[in-house]
Chains A and B, each alone.
Chain A
């Protein structure tokens, strides 16, 4: 289990992180979302040891993460970087070697990964000759070549075409299924919602919400009650809380509070109830509310 606990970081008089903490279990896919400048990248860089926190701790399986632990992590930084003049396969292999793979293992891992990411026919090309999307795939291969024990990916989906997104999703699911904790940040909230077991929302250096997506929906959105009634007389909902909108003979009542059973009885008496239920907020709605 990867635990991030009470991270604080200041740059001069600007507070970047103010007690950020969350935990990711083995095999869990954790989506890290937040506005630009909220502290996602700073947190990830601290987890990777690229940056030192002022205080707080990163733990793996209960003990503080060491340099040797981190060598087994896979990292994709927000600022992409590759040797432009180096050949694709050679580059992926080189990083495998740096992470401690034997020469033959690095070679076969690089070949297999490039095959999977659809870059097998570009293996002998210099990175600079590739399109940005393909460079992004090479970047991903660099993060994955040593079969990492933990994956930290900063905006891995930005700049990818839908096919590449699918390929990446498959790879990430695969890694998570193998028991690897996966953390990735993204602004594509629908993707995070679809993919992640848990979500953490950061705002201005603080975690404002964190947990399984389903739980967050209930906790954050608290499920707005939505009632649709047809053919009711005007003024039927005067005594009820919430907001009423009328379209022809169709009334839509949205309630955030109140006794739902009492509301239902009133609605049935007033007209034909077409819909009655709690509306699940989307992650985007939860996000907007949480950072507001």
Chain B
């Protein structure tokens, strides 16, 4: 275990010091901050400014009143666009051209309420009961899921690529021959995967923290669905599982070649699988209750991205999450064992590309 820890430590220390790591961390933080403040910028203000001349009416949630001394001042404010409309003496509305329909309805309702109240009549408002699924957060959840697809995909492919590059670096420079006289292959491989995985987690944590911080700063956090904690924990757990799966594949394929230039071609099966996972996860974000999403959210390795996206986009029965989790853990164990076997046999065979068939037997 000590060997694994030493290897992981070196990976972290070496990588954290590089400029590219800090830059990627900063870029992802900035991107997420921008995305999190997007609803605020696009949605604009959802309250109306209303100028008032005369007595102030009863307060209404969507309206912000502004007092004007006389009608002429209020008229000027409407024309200048300082207010959306002006209410004169509680019975006349000034609008710039046509009155905004929604604002009109709100003013009308407020006006009616005031008159009914003045007449001493109390009315009970209609109660609304939802009989379908809770659809209030549908749009926010879909947006969240789409964001999660991108974040998971980039973090996974980026971290797995670093594992593959590290394996080739050690094989290509032949340093692996000395390393393997001091540590066992699984320690070297495991340390590399664990160390670079920890960095991926740091990146994910930065994204989550920045996203939540910006959301609460812009007030967007109030629109987030309940159970955000579960969604975040789920995303982290699925990232760890997906990363373990894909990085083990990356290490196994990477150990077949001795030069970085050959890496892209040898990694093609892995990157193809990741792209497929990405595409299905993207569809799951759009249509989280569809059959494709439901089935593939159970099948490893697709589940590593589809399941967290599905849980973000819609409610998923706990049983399905558990089945997906068990299957994915089993797949991760199988891939780790297989990758360790390929790695152990291929990593010392420098020179020409090693055929996968020669080392899996």
Query: Which of B110-118, B175-183, B240-248 binds A?
Result: B175-183
Q: Which residues of A contact B6 (CB under 8 A)?
A: 94, 97-98
Q: Which residues of B contact A143 (CB under 8 A)?
A: 178
Q: Which residues of A contact B181 (CB under 8 A)?
A: 48-50, 70-71, 73, 75
In chain A, residues 34-73, which have Cβ atoms closer than 8 Å to a Cβ of chain B? 45, 48-51, 67, 70-71, 73
Residue of A nearest to B7 (CB): A98
Known contacts A97-B6, A98-B6, A77 near B174 by CB under 8 Å? yes
Alpha-carbon gap, A70 to B184, bound state (A): 11
Residue of A nearest to B3 (CB): A98
B14, A85: Cβ atoms under 8 Å? yes
Residue B271 at the A interface, CB < 8 A?
A: no
A79, B182: Cβ atoms under 8 Å? no
B179, A98: Cβ atoms under 8 Å? yes
Q: Return A160 CB to nearest CB of chain B, in Å.
A: 18
Chain A residues bordering chain B, tally (CB within 8 A): 27
Alpha-carbon gap, A81 to B173, bound state (A): 5
Q: Return B349 CB to nearest CB of chain A, in Å.
A: 10
In chain A, residues 62-120, which have Cβ atoms closer than 8 Å to a Cβ of chain B? 67, 70-71, 73, 75-77, 79-86, 94-95, 97-99
A82, B182: Cβ atoms under 8 Å? no
B182, A95: Cβ atoms under 8 Å? yes
A86, B14: Cβ atoms under 8 Å? yes
B184, A50: Cβ atoms under 8 Å? no
Residue of B nearest to A71 (CB): B182
Residue of B nearest to A139 (CB): B178
B183, A98: Cβ atoms under 8 Å? yes
Residue A142 at the B interface, CB < 8 A?
A: yes
In chain B, residues 103-127, which have Cβ atoms closer than 8 Å to a Cβ of chain A? none
Q: Return B258 CB to nearest CB of chain A, in Å.
A: 11
B10, A77: Cβ atoms under 8 Å? no
Q: Return A142 CB to nearest CB of chain B, in Å.
A: 6
Alpha-carbon gap, A67 to B174, bound state (A): 20
A94, B10: Cβ atoms under 8 Å? yes
Q: Return A185 CB to nearest CB of chain B, in Å.
A: 15
B176, A81: Cβ atoms under 8 Å? yes
Residue B348 at the A interface, CB < 8 A?
A: yes
Residue B216 at the A interface, CB < 8 A?
A: no
B182, A98: Cβ atoms under 8 Å? yes
Residue B350 at the A interface, CB < 8 A?
A: yes
A99, B182: Cβ atoms under 8 Å? yes
Alpha-carbon gap, A50 to B175, bound state (A): 12
In chain B, residues 173-218, which have Cβ atoms closer than 8 Å to a Cβ of chain A? 173-184
Alpha-carbon gap, A85 to B174, bound state (A): 15
Q: Which residues of B contact A67 (CB under 8 A)?
A: 184
Contact among A71, A80, A94, A142 with B174 in the assembled complex (CB-CB below 8 Å) = A80
A83, B182: Cβ atoms under 8 Å? no
In chain B, residues 1-56, which have Cβ atoms closer than 8 Å to a Cβ of chain A? 3, 6-7, 10, 14
B177, A50: Cβ atoms under 8 Å? yes
Alpha-carbon gap, A142 to B175, bound state (A): 11
Q: Which residues of A contact B174 (CB under 8 A)?
A: 77, 79-81
Q: Return B10 CB to nearest CB of chain A, in Å.
A: 6
- Give 21 pairs: A residue, B residue, CB < 8 Å, sorted on A: A45-B177, A49-B181, A50-B181, A71-B181, A71-B182, A75-B177, A75-B181, A77-B174, A77-B177, A79-B350, A81-B174, A83-B14, A83-B173, A94-B6, A94-B10, A95-B182, A97-B6, A98-B6, A98-B179, A99-B182, A143-B178
Question: Closest 4 CB pairs between A and B?
Answer: A81-B175, A81-B174, A79-B174, A98-B182
